[in-house]
Structure 1
C-alpha cells in the first residue's frame, strides 16, 4: 500500500481535505479521529479547541505513542502540551475511591451519593480530568466491608491490650420500627488515655425480657472476646435492664443522669408547683401550635429589645427541659404578656406570685442541670471519678449522708477510707509489674517474723496497705476541674496499687450518654430514605462512623 502523504497539522491530528483531482484544499482540514471537516485559516487555535473538547484521551494516547516511537529524538514539551490536563491514573483513582468510601461512612452520607452528577462534576474539576467516572455503588459497598474489617481489627487489638473494660448499653427504635441494642466500650490504656467506641448496634427481634437482654450483652462480650475483662455495665433504671444486669457477672452501674431526672419527676408530683407548671405548658403550647402567634411573639421580642427565640415545651424524657421552659418564659415575660393581651384565648395568665414561684423553682433545678451536664457532657470522662462514690461506695456501704464533694476525691470520710482499705486488701488484685519479678521473701526474714510472734504475713500486708493510704492522704488536694486521668498519669508511680484500682473505675462513665449519642448518630443513618437498610449494614455504618470520628479526636 502506498504511503499516505497528505499534508497534516498538529502532528498529524488534522489533514488537509483532498480534492477529487488529487490536489489539496488549504482552507479545509479533516480530523483524523472523528473525520469532521473544519475550516482552516492559517491558525490552529480552533483545531486545538476541537481536540480538547472531543478527543482529549485520544489526543493524549496518540501523543504518548508518538513520544515512545521517537524516543531517540527527545524534545521539550510545548506550551499546549503542558497546559493539557492529565487523566487520573489508577493509583489516584484508587485513592479517590477510598476517600469517598471513608467520607460516606464517617459523615453518614447515603451510598447512592456516588450517582450524583454534581459530585462527579466537582471531582472532575478538582482533578482536571473530564473523563473521570465515580465508582459504582457495588464498589463502595465492597470497600465499606473491607474498611469495617480493617477498623474492627484495630479495635480488637486495642481491647486485647486493655486491662479493665466497662460497657454501656441501651435499646433504640429506628424510623422503620426496628429495634436495636447499642453497646459501647470504655477503657483506660497504659498512658492513661480513655477510649470510648462502639462495639455494635445489633438488631433485636425478641421481647425485651431480662433474660433476653442479658443474653444479648453476653453475645457482644463473647464476640469481642472481652468477657473476662468486663468490670461494669451501665444501663438506665428500667426494670428489665436492671434485672438483666443483675444476672450478669458484671457490676451494674445505673445511669446517674437518669436517676436525677426520675427524682425530679417524682418530686414534682408531690410539690406545689403542679398548677404553675400546667399554666406554663398551656402558654407555650398556645404559641407552638400557631405560626401566627409565634410571629407576633417574635415581633414583640424585637420591640422590647430582646433577641428572637422560641419558647421551649418541657418533655418528661428530655433532660432539663422543664428548667429551660421556665427560663424562656421568665426571660420573655413582657413579650409573652403583651402578645397574650392582643390575642383571643382562654388561658390562665401567670401572676406575679407565679413568676416568683418559677424563680424559686429555677434555683432548685439549676444544680440538677449542672450535675446532668457534668455527667453527660462531652467531657464526661473528667467527672467519671464521681462514679465509685455515687454508684459503688454508696450502694455497697449503704451510706446516705455522704458529702459528694468529699467523696469525689476519697477524702475526709472514715467510711470511705475503711471501704477503700478493704478493697485494697481483699477485692482488688495487685498490679502486674512489667519489669523483673521480685524475689521471694528470704527465709531469714520469715524466721524473724515468727520469732517476733507475728501470726502471719497478713500483718505485714496490712501495714503496707495502711502506708499506701497514708501516702495518698498526704497528696495535695486537686481542684474539681483537674482531670483525674492526668493526675494519675503523673502520680501512678507513687501509688501503684491505688493506680491499678483507679484505672478500673475511671474507665466507667457515670451515665449512659455515650449510647444516647450513638442513637443520634444512628438516626442520621437510618432515615426515611434509607429505612430499608439491612441490619448488617446499619451495624457497620454506625460503627465505622463512630470509629473514624474517634480516631480524629485521638
Structure 2
C-alpha cells in the first residue's frame, strides 16, 4: 500500500503538509498528518498520511520525530514545501525543530503556524491548554454585561456573559469527571423525550474553531438534563447551576456564534473556494453583527426570535 501511495506524488516537485495534535477521551495523544499537492492535471489533491500515537511527553521533540518518520516512510523529506499547524506552543516548537532538521536537504522548506480561533496558546510541552488556564483566559475576554428585562418582575439583575459561559463549562466538566454523574446524566437523557441522544456534552478547546459554540449549543439543547444533574449533587455541583436568566443569555449568545459556525463550516467543506465567496461570507457576518448590536442597543435582542 505504501508503494502505491508513494506513486501518487512521484512526478510532483512539491507537496505541503498540515499537522494537528489532539488528546483522545482516554488521554492518548494523537498526531495527524495530511499531505496536499497539485497533480499533473492541475487538480488539487490531499491524502491522510498518518495518524500516530504520541508516546511520552506531548512536546515538540516527540512530535517532530513522528513527522520526520512519516516523511521518510513516504519519501517526502525533500519534497515538502510547507507545513501548517495552529499556533499551539508544542506545534511551534515542532516546526522550529523540523526546519533545522530538513533545511540541509530541503532549503525551500517553510513552516507556518496559523493563529487559532481564540488565539490562546497551551503551556509549554502540552498539546492543549489545561482546563483551568483556558477558563481564566476565556472568561476574561467575555466581560460584557447584559441585562434582561421582564415586564412583570421589572428589570432583572445584570448578567455577565463570562460568568454564564464559565458556569456551563464547569458544570460539564463536573459531570464528565464523575462516573456517578455520568450515569445520572445518561439516565436523565433517556428519561427526557425532548433529548435525542445521550452523548456527553464535549468541552470546548482553545485551538478548535467554534468549539465554544458547540459546547454552549449542546448545553442549551440539554438544559433540563444539566439542571437535573447539577441539582442532585449538593452545594459543590449546584454552584455551577445556571439561573433562568443565564440560560437565556447563553442561548442568545449562541445566536451570535451560530452564524460564525455556519460560515466556517462552509469554508472548510468547500473544495474550490474563491475569494469572492470568502468576501461574501465576511460581509454577511458584518451585517449580522451590526444587527445584533442594534438589537442590543434598542433592547429587542433578548426578545427577538
| TMscore range, shorter length | 0.5 to 0.7
CA distance in structure 1 between the partners assigned to 2:189 and 2:272 by the alignment: 41
Counterpart for residue 86 of structure 1: none
CA distance in structure 1 between the partners assigned to 2:112 and 2:81 by the alignment: 10
Aligned length: 234
Q: Which has the higher helix share?
A: 1
Counterpart for residue 295 of structure 1: 187
Deviations 1:33-69 (A, max 9, x none): xxxxxxxxxxxxxxxxxxxxxxxxxxxxxxxxxxxxx
Q: Whose relative contact order is higher, 1 or 2, with alpha carbons under 8 Å and at least 6 apart?
A: 1
CA distance in structure 1 between the partners assigned to 2:50 and 2:195 by the alignment: 46
| 1:356 matched to 2:230 | no
Counterpart for residue 12 of structure 2: 162
CA distance in structure 1 between the partners assigned to 2:6 and 2:86 by the alignment: 27
Counterpart for residue 276 of structure 1: 164
SS of alignment partner, residue 246 of structure 2: helix
SS of alignment partner, residue 167 of structure 1: strand
Counterpart for residue 294 of structure 2: none
Structure number with larger C-alpha Rg: 1
SS of alignment partner, residue 18 of structure 2: strand
CA distance in structure 1 between the partners assigned to 2:267 and 2:140 by the alignment: 25
Counterpart for residue 111 of structure 2: 252
CA distance in structure 1 between the partners assigned to 2:77 and 2:186 by the alignment: 54
SS of alignment partner, residue 243 of structure 1: helix
The TM-score, its normalising length taken from structure 1, stands at 0.34
Q: Which has the higher strand share?
A: 2
Q: Is the 8 A contact 2:64 2:97 kept in 1?
A: yes
360-369 or 165-174, which deviates more: 165-174
CA distance in structure 2 between the partners assigned to 1:344 and 1:223 by the alignment: 52
Q: Is the 8 A contact 2:21 2:32 kept in 1?
A: yes
The TM-score, its normalising length taken from structure 2, stands at 0.55
Q: Which runs of 5+ in 1 are unaligned?
A: 1-150, 390-402, 409-554
Q: Which runs of 5+ in 2 are unaligned?
A: 122-133, 144-160, 283-305
Counterpart for residue 216 of structure 2: 326
CA displacement at 1:260 relative to structure 2: 1.0
* 2:2 aligned residue (129, 152, 170): 152
CA RMSD of superposed structures (Å): 4.7
* 2:96 aligned residue (233, 243, 253): 243
Q: Is the 8 A contact 2:33 2:51 kept in 1?
A: yes
Counterpart for residue 35 of structure 2: 185
- Describe the shift of the 1:306–1:223 C-alpha distance in structure 2 as closer, same or farther (beyond 3 A): closer
CA displacement at 1:358 relative to structure 2: 0.8
SS of alignment partner, residue 117 of structure 2: helix
Counterpart for residue 48 of structure 1: none
* 1:316 aligned residue (192, 198, 205): 205
